Amino acid sequence: MLNYPLKFKPILKEKIWGGTKLITQFNKKSDLQNIGESWEISDVDESVSIVSNGVLKDTSLRELLENYKSDLIGKNNYANFGNNFPLLIKFIDAEKDLSVQVHPNDKLSKARHNSFGKTEMWYIMQAEETARLILGFKEKLTPNQYISLLKDKNIVPVLNEVYVKSGDAFFIETGTVHSIGSGVVLAEIQQTSDITYRIYDFDRVDDEGNERELHTELAIEALNLSDNVEAKREYTKEKNVLNEVVSCEYFKTNFIPLKGKTELDYSQIDSFIIFMCVEGSAEIKIFSATETIRLGETILIPSIAKKVTLFSKYCKLLEVTI
């Protein structure tokens, strides 16, 4: 049954900072307003992905894992994660600034929330001229200095801003203070976790005049208060080959600019493969089955597929494995 490229129904998340691009440009279907996130592949409780194509249509990701185990995600991954899919894959549209936040590491997340930590990476798909990210601090802070700046609502001047353009990539380790600025659309690859500590929200209020909850005390132990965050990743962009963007213990992401036909050999890879389309479109073939991937779509290739054929007139893909 695992003989074709798997697509999943997008799980759309309404956010105070979200926009309309995931619907108008990425062809997501929803009557919700302010769509900030499309969860493409998720094993988070209450938001588990459902197959949208082929003979396994309407099967949940958890059912796939229970039924196919290592054939779906690889022997080593199944030994490590069992019936838990280890990655959460998203597209994000920030029409307004996200809150300033931090994610805890594995140890802290396990102790506090019985969860994985949240190491993640971003690939910038679209960026308005003045679009920027917040990544780390401009100067090293002590915990007391940090708390004082928060209380005085003077934290913004010490946050490090990075202006971005399409094609930029960033690796955000746990503990790094960060935020996505308005006018950015990006692809996000992360550990399976929905644990976020919000430390500042620009004093915004909802429709009823309420400020969103901050997690000041929880964040203190999780934060890296140093000034030496090096999040941006430089990478090559050679056509029809795997160009490494990020490689860490949680995932590996390659960039593939496609033109024409390309065959990828996964005989030495003990992992599922995820393709995210960040420009154009392509045909993806495993065994004798072909599926089309378009801008803003994601496909999961089971671990038992050791040869993948790609064909495109023009496409840019992110390839994700563990």
Please tell me whether residues 162 and 310 are part of one structural domain: no
Q: For the chain, what percent of residues have pLDDT higher than 90?
A: 95
313 and 169 within one domain: no
Q: Which band of pLDDT confidence, cut at 50, 70 and 90, is reported for residue 268?
A: very high
Q: Are residues 195 and 214 in the same domain?
A: yes
Look at residues 190, 213, 233 and tell me which one is the last residue of a structural domain: 233
- Indicate whether 180 and 211 sit together in one domain: yes
pLDDT at 43: 98
174 inside domain: yes
**pLDDT reported for residue 221:** 94
- Mark which of 174, 204, 233 sits at the end of a domain: 233
Find tokens 């590491």 and name the residue. Answer: 105
The residues annotated with a catalytic role in the active site are 198
Residue 162 lies in a domain: yes
For residue 1, is it within any domain? no
One domain for residues 135 and 159 = yes
The structural domain count of the chain equals: 2
pLDDT in tens, 6-41: 999 999 999 999 999 999 999 999 998 899 999 999
User: Domain range holding 200?
Assistant: 11-233
Confidence class for position 251, pLDDT limits 50, 70, 90 = very high
Residue 204 has a pLDDT of 85
Q: For residue 205, is pLDDT > 90?
A: no
Mean pLDDT (whole number) for 53-63: 98
Q: Do residues 181 and 278 share a domain?
A: no
What CATH number does residue 86 fall under? Answer: 2.60.120.10
Cα distance between residue 25 and residue 42, in whole Å: 22
**Per-residue pLDDT, 147:** 95
Q: Does a structural domain hold residue 5? A: no
φ, ψ for residue 108, nearest 5 deg:
-70, -40
| Percentage of the chain modeled with pLDDT above 70 | 100
Query: What pLDDT is stored for residue 208 in this prediction?
Result: 79
Answer yes or no: is 110 within a domain: yes
* Residue 316 resides in a domain: yes
Model confidence at 203, pLDDT cuts 50, 70, 90, reads confident
pLDDT computed for residue 1 by the predictor? 87
Same domain flag for 222 and 258: no
Q: Are residues 29 and 100 in the same domain?
A: yes
Q: Are residues 130 and 108 in the same domain?
A: yes
What would the pLDDT profile of 207-240 be if each residue is shown by its tens digit?
Answer: 777 888 999 999 999 999 998 889 999 999 999 9
At residue 162 the predicted structure's pLDDT band, cuts being 50, 70 and 90, is very high
Residues 22 and 142 in one domain: yes
Summary mean pLDDT of the chain: 96
- In this prediction the pTM is 0.96
Q: Which of 207, 233, 259 is the last residue of a domain?
A: 233
Please check whether residues 307 and 214 belong to one and the same domain.
no
What pLDDT score does 235 carry? 98
40 and 162 assigned to the same domain: yes
Cβ neighbours, 10 Å, residue 283: 16
